[in-house]
Every structure is written in C-alpha cells, then in structure tokens.
C-alpha cells in the first residue's frame, strides 16, 4: 500500500501535525488528486479550532487545492488521469435538496467542504467528488491557482454578478488576501477601480495592482472620497470589519450596491434615507461552484491576474498556518506538498 504525508488536526484546538497514512482509493464518482499546491485560508481555523458543527477528527484541512488527477474511481465522466484540476470551498453537493433542485448548487443544504466535510489539501494526495473539480489552464501555475480557488473565485464571482458595467466606479474595501485580487479583477473587468485601505502604505501596491484611485481610510472620509468620484456603483467589502463597511456605505452612488464578502461580527449600519433616495442595496456573496472556479482560473490566466503568495513545504504547515493567521503574510500562504 503506497503511503503519503498529510498534516492533520487530531482534535478541535489541537496542533497541525505531520503524519503518514495510506494513500486513499477514490470511491465511485470520486478522483484521487496528487496535490501540488494548497492555499491556507483563514477559514481553515474552522477545522483547526472546531468551529464548524459536526467535524469528525482527525481531519486534514485545506480547500484551495491545485493538483493532478492521479486515479479515477468508478463512474467518473469527463475527467482523465493526468489532468490538472483545482478543488475549492465548494467541495460537492447532494443534487436532491431544494436548492440543488433549483440549480443553486453552491447553497446546497448538504454541501460539502474539503478540509471540513472530508480530508483536504494539506496532504500529498486527497480524494474529491467529480462535481467539485475545476480545470486549471496550462499557463497558470499551481501556486497561483490555489488561492484563486477561494479568495479569487469569491471576488471574481461577486464582481461579475454585481451589475457593474465597464466604466462604472467600483470600490474595493480592503487590500488584503481577498482585496488584492478584487482590485486586479475590477481593473481587468474595465471598472474605474478605487482601492480603500488603512494608511498610506498600501497606496503604491494598490496602484501597482491596477487601482485608478486610492483612498486612505485613516486620513480621508471614505464616503466623501467615493462621492467625489461620482459615487460607487459597487463597493466590494472584503475588509473583515462591519465598522469599515458602515463608514464606506455613504459612498454608494445612484443604484449603488455594497457586496459583503469579508466576515465580521459587527453589524453594518445602513443609512435609510440615502438608501431610498439613491436606490441603494446591500447583499452578501458566497463563493461559487466548480464551474465558477474554472472560469475564475481561465479569466485570471487570460488577463494576468495573480495572487501574491508566500510558499512553504508541507512539513512546515504549522508555521505557514501561523504566518497566515498573523495577518502579516502578503497576501496568501501556499503549501507545496509536491516538493
Ligand atoms: Zn477559503
Ligand atoms: Zn443539495
């Protein structure tokens, strides 16, 4: 029986530990993926700290997986061994719940997440259901593909469904793991792109990523600065702060919409009169399906959108995880189980 190295969490709150296991066999409708790269996401703390109901331990975290199909289980159609594939947050759906019956697979009531519902990508091999697979373009590296499967798809999919059109002002609130990709996507989609972040430090980087305007939320009134640009058609809120979102919401122009993708425990305060008089709205956006992932990867390869990454070998996963959680990483940390 071939063996592999994985990094597992043995119990909620336990450390990330490197262990050896048998390479699993793909069951019906599943494929064995040789993992080349796996991004570390803040959501991996759900697994490590046991903050997601019903996690069975030991569990291998990781839902930003880029690799190669090693082996097909029975009844897998449309995929072949040797194909490069990605697996993101949406790690499978049931096909029979009310939302699936309406074709809304990403909101499946029995939805599965790699690294939570089953073992994920902090490993040399992992098994994924075929409906969770996205093709990776030849000219996109595994390291670049991995973070695009979570942080990338979330911002790309939210922006392309936002209703904004080329030439509209789109603000990206926060220039971090999600925001540094959001700024690039907004620029490449043809929006007048305004990046909003704390302090002047991030201004050169935001411009380099494609922002036409930079708003420093420490020294400027964000809402006024956006209104000076004509008002935002969309504010993509990637910052993990309800207060920062509330401070920006006055910058929505006519028919403007705030789309929330950053998580925060703080509520967002909505100015009712403005919302009525400018026909404003606020909504959230969940990442997307494997097909959305595939389109995110294809668009990124085509347009040159790339995540900024720091890489670590699998054996240093615990250190890599701490680096990501410290908030100091620029901007995504990626494990390389292949080498
Ligand atoms: Zn994630
Ligand atoms: Zn379902």
Query: How many residues are recorded in the chain?
Result: 339
DSSP letter (8 states) at residue 152: I
| DSSP letters for 79-95 | --TT-EEEE-S-----S
* Mean pLDDT computed over 119-127: 98
50-90 confidence digits (pLDDT tens)? 999 999 999 999 999 999 999 999 999 999 999 999 999 99
269-284 confidence digits (pLDDT tens)? 999 999 999 999 999 9
Q: In this structure, which ligand is nearest to the CA of 293?
A: 1
Q: How far apart are CA 33 and CA 142, in angstroms?
A: 13
Task: Using the mean position of ligand 2's atoms as its centre, give its distance from the Cα of residue 290 in Å.
Answer: 14
* Mean pLDDT computed over 155-177: 97
Q: In this structure, which ligand is nearest to the CA of 41?
A: 1
Q: How far apart are CA 46 and CA 43, in angstroms?
A: 6
Task: Using the mean position of ligand 2's atoms as its centre, give its distance from the Cα of residue 241 in Å.
Answer: 31
Inform me whether the pLDDT recorded for 339 exceeds 80.
Answer: no
pTM over 0.85: yes
Residue 338 pLDDT: 81
Residues within 5 Å of ion ligand 2, judged at the Cβ atom: 93-94, 97, 100, 108
Cis-peptide into 58, omega within 30 deg: yes
| DSSP letters for 4-15 | EEEEEE-STTPP
Task: Using the mean position of ligand 2's atoms as its centre, give its distance from the Cα of residue 299 in Å.
Answer: 27
248-272 confidence digits (pLDDT tens)? 999 999 999 999 999 899 999 999 9
Q: Tell me how far CA of residue 227 lies from CA of 77, 166, 252, in angstroms.
A: 51, 18, 7
Q: How far apart are CA 18 and CA 31, in angstroms?
A: 23
Q: In this structure, which ligand is nearest to the CA of 92?
A: 2
Q: β-pairing, 213-216 with 192-197?
A: parallel
Inform me whether the pLDDT recorded for 13 exceeds 80.
Answer: yes
Task: Using the mean position of ligand 2's atoms as its centre, give its distance from the Cα of residue 128 in Å.
Answer: 17
Inform me whether the pLDDT recorded for 105 exceeds 80.
Answer: yes
Place of tokens 């994924």: 128
Q: Which helix (H) or strand (E) holds 157?
A: helix 153-160
Task: Using the mean position of ligand 2's atoms as its centre, give its distance from the Cα of residue 91 in Å.
Answer: 12
Confidence of residue 1 (pLDDT cuts 50, 70, 90): confident
Task: Using the mean position of ligand 2's atoms as its centre, give its distance from the Cα of residue 273 in Å.
Answer: 39
């Amino acid at each position: 029986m071939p063996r592999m190295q994985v990094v597992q969490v043995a119990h909620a709150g336990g450390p990330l530990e490197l262990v050896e296991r048998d390479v699993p066999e793909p069951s019906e409708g599943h494929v064995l993926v040789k993992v080349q790269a796996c991004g570390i996401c803040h959501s991996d703390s759900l697994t490590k700290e046991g903050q997601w109901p019903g996690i069975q331990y030991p569990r291998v975290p990781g839902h930003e997986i880029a690799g190669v199909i090693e082996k097909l289980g029975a009844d897998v159609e449309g995929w072949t061994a040797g194909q490069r594939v990605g697996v993101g947050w949406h790690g499978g759906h049931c096909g029979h719940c009310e939302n699936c019956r309406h074709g809304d697979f990403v909101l499946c009531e029995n939805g599965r997440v790699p690294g939570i519902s089953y073992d994920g990508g902090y490993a040399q091999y992992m098994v994924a259901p075929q409906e969770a697979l996205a093709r990776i373009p030849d000219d996109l590296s595994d390291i670049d593909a991995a973070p695009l499967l979570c942080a990338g798809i979330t911002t790309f999919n939210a922006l392309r469904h936002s209703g904004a059109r080329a030439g509209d002002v789109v603000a990206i609130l926060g220039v971090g793991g999600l925001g540094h990709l959001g700024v690039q996507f907004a620029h490449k989609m043809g929006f007048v792109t305004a990046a909003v972040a704390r302090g002047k430090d991030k201004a050169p980087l935001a411009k380099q990523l494609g922002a036409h305007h930079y708003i420093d939320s420490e020294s400027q009134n964000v809402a006024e600065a956006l209104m000076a640009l004509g008002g935002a058609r969309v504010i993509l809120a990637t910052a993990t702060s309800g207060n920062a979102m509330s401070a920006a919401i006055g910058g929505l122009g006519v028919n403007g919409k705030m789309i929330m993708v950053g998580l925060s425990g703080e509520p967002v305060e909505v100015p009712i009169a403005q919302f009525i008089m400018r026909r404003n709205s606020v909504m959230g956006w969940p990442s997307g399906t494997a097909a959305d992932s595939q389109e995110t990867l294809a668009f990124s390869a085509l347009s040159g959108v790339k995540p900024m990454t720091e890489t670590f070998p699998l054996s240093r996963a615990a250190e890599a995880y701490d680096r990501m959680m410290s908030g100091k990483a620029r901007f995504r940390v990626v494990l390389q189980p292949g080498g």
